[in-house]
Amino acid sequence: MITLIIFYAHVVAAVTLFTKHWQEGDWKEGLLAVGSLLLLFSVGWSISTFVLKLFLHDERGFATWLDRDTLSLVLLSAMEGIFFTVQTKIKWLSF
């Protein structure tokens, strides 16, 4: 269930990014924004899974609904939230 919520949040983020960049520029900028989100998501999920394998040797994690894959997605979402927040603040400071 947690995994589904995280995937749904990323779909909503992709649609939001596409719409925002499409309105500010053109549809190519929207596709570029969605592509960068997908790239960050796929690479970040691989890295967070690798990091959690170092600390959690058991695939079951802490519970049946909080296994190692779900924990890696939660870690990824937290890191993406920090990344996009810092990126947005830096973008606002440069103007």
Global model pTM greater than 0.85: no
Where are the chain's structural domains? Answer: 2-93
User: Is the model's pLDDT at 79 over the cut of 60?
Assistant: yes
d(CA 12, CA 16): 6
Q: Quote the pLDDT of residue 35.
A: 93
Question: pLDDT digit string (tens) for 39-57?
Answer: 999 999 999 999 988 888 7
CA atoms within 13 Å, Cβ hemisphere of 30: 14
Q: If you count them, how many residues does the chain have?
A: 95
DSSP 8-state symbol, 59 = T
User: Is the model's pLDDT at 10 over the cut of 80?
Assistant: yes
DSSP 8-state symbol, 57 = -
The percent of residues above 90 in pLDDT, for the chain, comes to: 44
Give me 90's structure tokens: 């830096």
